[in-house]
Every structure is written in C-alpha cells, then in structure tokens.
Amino acid sequence: MNDMAKNLILWLVIAAVLLTVFNNFSVDSTPQTMNYSQFVQQVQNQQVRSVTIDGYTITGERTDGSQFQTIRPAADDPKLMDDLLANNVTVVGKEPEQQSLWTRLLIASFPILLILAIFVFFMRQMQGGAGGKGGPMSFGKSKAKLLSHDQVKTTFSDVAGCDEAKEEVEELVDFLRDPSKFQRLGGTIPRGVLMVGPPGTGKTLLAKSIAGEAKVPFFSISGSDFVEMFVGVGASRVRDMFEQAKKQAPCIIFIDEIDAVGRSRGAGMGGGNDEREQTLNQLLVEMDGFEANEGIIVIAATNRPDVLDPALLRPGRFDRQVVVPLPDIRGREHILNVHLRKVPLADDVKPVLIARGTPGFSGADLANLVNEAALFAARRNKRLVSMEELELAKDKIMMGAERRSMVMTEKEKLNTAYHESGHAIIGLVMPEHDPVYKVTIIPRGRALGVTMFLPEQDRYSLSRQQLISQICSLFGGRIAEEMTLGPNGVTTGASNDIKRATELAHNMVAKWGLSEEMGPVMYDEDESHQFLGGAGQGGKLKSGETTTKLDKEVRKIIDECYAKAKQILEENRDKLDAMAEALMQYETVDSTQLKDIMEGRQPRPPEGWDDPSGGASPSGGETDPEPAPSQDEDEEDDEPRRRPSDPLGGPAGS
C-alpha cells in the first residue's frame, strides 16, 4: 500500500471521528413529532397555521407558534388537501431534489471503477508494490537497495585498522564532491574499485563510509541477487540497476561478493553457466561500453580475486584494487577503540593489551570479542565491562566455549593432562616457537583439552626452524601418552596433530623448497583453478621416482622431529609430571605457572583459588578432536591468513 492510500484512509478515519463527535454534541433542534391522526384532528380543529409537504414528510406550525412534524402514510388521502384549504391552512410544496448528471454517472460507473481498482491493486502487488520490487512480475527489476545521502551515516571515523585502504579511496570522495578539480588536469576518476581482503576486514564498511563522506546516493546489492532461474534475468537486472543509477548520478554502486557473478567465463567442467555469463557480459558492457556512465562509481568486494574474469579486472572497468588486509597490532587497537565506545567500560580496560593478545583477528572478530565481553558482564549483573570479561571473551573465541558439564573419568582427565603437557613443554623448549599462552584440560568446543600458543608479535612468514618447532610440538601430545601409557595405551586423540604435522612436512618439501634433497622446486600440482577453466594447465606431473623421493623426505622430517620431541620430553620427565599434576589440580595453567614449573618451582595457585576441590570437574562424552586451523597459510599470497594463535586439540577419539 502506497503513501497516498494510507493518507486517504487516515483522513477518512479523522472525518468519521469528527462527524461522530459533532452529532453527539450538536444541539437537538428537531421539531416535535406526532402521528398522522393527531395531525388531521388538529387541522380540523383549526389548530394548524401552515404546513410544508416534502414527499411523505409534513412539517408545519401550529397557531400557538410551535413546530411539528409527521409522516404521511403511503396510502393516498385525497381529502387531505380539502381539509387543509377548508381550515385556512397555508400549504407550501417543496420541489423534489434531482441528482446531478455527474452524480448519476458516478453511481452508474461505480461497479466498473471498483473492478478496475481491484485489478490495478493486484497488478501492483504482483510487480512488488509501489517500489516495483519483490513481486512475481518484477524478476527483471534490479534488487539494489538505494540509500540516500542522508541515510548513510557511516564516515571514515567509523573505519579503523586499514589506513592505507582509506587513503586509496579518499580521492573518490574528493572527486564526488568536486569533479572539476580532476577534470581541469584531464584526469578521470577510476570507474571501478575492487576491494580485496579476508572476510571480516571491513570492505563493506569502507564502501559505506565513502558514500557517507561524499554525501551521495548509495546502491547496495549482492552478486547473488543478479542470477536466478529465468534466462536473461541477470542481464536485465544489471541494465535496470545502471538505469536507476544514472538518474541518481553522481552515486556509488556497491556489489558485495562479486565473485558470485564475476567468475571466469567458460569455467565449468563440461560447460559453463550460460545465465551467469550473460549477466557478467552485461556488467562488462555497462561498466565500459559505448555508453558512458558519468558520475557512477562501482565498488565491489570479494575475498576471491583469483577467480574473477580477467576482462572484469582490466583498466577501464575495475581500474584499482584496494587491499583490505587483516589489521596489525595498532590497527587492532584502533578497531577496539571504535567498538569499545559503544559499551560502558571499567577503569582497568586497556585496549593495547587486548590488541597485543589477538594476533590475526579481523575487525569482525574484534567486534565479536567486545560483544561477548558485554554478554559476560550482563550475565554477572555488572554495570561495567572490565578486563576480566574481555579476557574471558578472548579465550572463548580463540579456544572455544567451556564445556564443564561434560563428565570425564579420572583416567581420561589424567591422559588429557599429560597430552597437553607434552604439547606445552615442547613449545617452551624448542627454539623460535610461539610462547605458550595457556593450557587447559577443561573441554572447549570439540576438544577435550587445549594448548594455546600466542605469538609475541604479528607474523607474516615462517622460517624453517619455526616449522620444525611446530611439528615437534604437534607430536608432543602423542609422545607424552606413549611415555605414560605405553605403546599400547596411545589413544586416537593425536589424529588431528598427526594430520597437521604431515601437512607441514609435505609443504616444506613440495611447496616451500625447504628440503636440501628435493631443492627449491614446486612439486605439488596447482589445483586452485581446476574448476575455473584451467584444469591441468598449471599442474606438474611427477614421475614415480620423484614421488618416492618426496615421500621419503617427508618421512625423514617427521622422524627427525618425532625423535627430537621424544628426547626433550624424556629429559624433562619431571616437568611433564609436575605440569600434569598442576593441570589435574587447577584444570587451567597460565604462562606464569608454566614458568614456575619449567624453573623447578611449585606453580603458584591462580588468583582467587581457595579450595582445590571446589572447581567443577570437566567431563567426557564427545570424542571429536578440535579441528584447529593450520598455521601454514603464509605461502599462499592470495589466500586469507589464519590467525597464528592456533590451539592444539587434546586427546579425543577420531
């Protein structure tokens, strides 16, 4: 229902209310009513001075000056006029009202008008209402949402952690505000800007801030909104979107997840999606075809730039690619300051400490951290969010939620304690390994126990020594089980550790050239484009002899790391037992307690610890290992980096 219809209904309701009030409070001036017999009798008694006859209604005045009214029966009374004239009653006749020509036409045409109104109503509903969107007949219309310049409230002050990306797009704002500044020198603004970065880094927020700063209309649409089951719908929607944008120019069109419609053409195994390719062709033409779209800037966002069609990325379409990376420590601090403005904070909150302890977090992760901290504070009926809630939220995001309701036997708890202690001791002893942040045997997420390593600073690459240290620490849990339970007592809990260690060793040999035997050669086939029209083009075929050498070299690295880890644990058996005992007592051991254990001292109890038996015991039921993200992502420049603070899952059945 449009605004005009709503206003009409509102005025009709107001008129009805006013009419009711007027009728209730108006002065009753209706003349006295009597029946027809009384009227005839009074006429014959000469008590009536004058009458006015209006159809069946007779009104008049008596000789005493009072007014009266009566209704004449439907039966004819031919003697009435004789009685009136005989008794000297003045008779006045009233001309009957006749309807005007327009009134008669309106009454006659009302059924037809009603049918037409119903037909128009249903047609508009099928086309999606007043805006023409959402109905079954509107599949050819653009689904882009238009935000006017006063609706976009986001500015550059709301975006943090990507200063370089903000500098790249600031000139877009200058052009939209004052295009003559660039046109005087013959310069043209980029027609399209492609924002590339991992999920959650703020690409959409940055695009909205451009529209908010420039004070121009902002069209927002997702790449998946173009293509549907009908042939030609996507191309029609692209045309309609640019037609609407031309009417609002200068303006910004933002296409989120453009890889849904902009993938390389001819990319299917056995044939491509023709409808999607038609949509992409129309988008290419609209961005740089015969017709110029002056004043329209297309901003797109994706985390898969490698799958986009080359024609879409060429100059003239997307002239500029803006990388929005994961924030560094200063960027994380600025992002936290933005989100912490929305919650009441205690005096002990220090954003710099939180930023230092969250390497690899995206802006969305940090927003989630602040929200989780606020929820923790609300559960505790606090009025302020303190550092304690922020630390709890960080642990929950990095290691998973605690599952204290899970019942575990003492034997399983002890095995988990030795497993996690093995991980921690190897991580503390091996050179260039990330420091151990926390060890717990409280089930978190899908893991029975977690050992969390936290790097001291942001890390963008891995050395060979760091990789060797990681492989050694991954085997620490299995070796600790073997030392305490014997070869036949080793559990399946190390399955995920073995998988990650094997992947690291294989990548060292086949991808990263970190093997002296195999040399700096890429042996793995490039499978990133096998479903994008490039199957078999970038791959390398290996001979059987080469494959055998690769397997031997991987096994050599695994065996050396396994032996090194076993040697470390055997040399530190007393510390392994002490750490397992501390975990059985406290359930969670932090870095200060780990330092006490490694220096041969009794670990200090955690803050607020009173009764060792007062803590709830974790317990066991589910047996799936923690699927921790791998730490070997930095060899892929086009892949989003995982946060380097990945936990090692405890023993669990696989």
Q: Identify each DSSP E strand in 528-646 by its residue range.
A: 588-590
Across 556-572, b (16+ Cβ under 10 Å) vs e yields: ebbeebbebbbebbeeb
Query: What are the catalytic residues?
Result: 420
> DSSP characters for 347-409?
TT--HHHHHHT-TT--HHHHHHHHHHHHHHHHHTT-SSB-HHHHHHHHHHHHH--B-TT----
| Residue recorded with tokens 């330092």 | 595
Dihedral (Cα; 137, 142, 143, 146), 10-degree rounding: -130
**Rounded distance, CA 195 to CA 180, Å?**
26
649: phi > 0 → left, psi -120 to 50 → alpha, else beta; which? Answer: beta
**CB 460, CB 451: distance < 8 Å:** no
What is the length of the chain? 654
**Rounded distance, CA 355 to CA 387, Å?**
12
Element holding 219 (H helix, E strand): strand 218-222
> DSSP characters for 155-201?
-GGG--S-HHHHHHHHHHHHHHH-THHHHTTT----SEEEEE-STTS
Contacts of residue 560, Cβ cutoff 8 Å, sequence gap at least 6: none
Instruction: Please return the burial class of 640, using the count of CB atoms within 10 Å of its CB with bins 0-12, 13-18 and 19+.
Output: middle
State whether residue 296 is helix, strand or coil: strand
Residues in a beta bridge with 629: none
Nearest to 365, CA basis, from 399, 394, 404, 334: 394
User: What number of other Cβ atoms are within 10 A of residue 529's Cβ?
Assistant: 17
Name the token pair of 409: 């036997």
Nearest 5°: CA angle at 44, between 38 and 50?
Answer: 85
Nearest to 524, CA basis, from 512, 515, 532, 533: 512
114, 133, 423, 572 from 568: Cα distances, Å: 90, 67, 11, 6
**Rounded distance, CA 105 to CA 99, Å?**
10
Residues in a beta bridge with 343: none
**Rounded distance, CA 626 to CA 653, Å?**
11
State whether residue 599 is helix, strand or coil: coil
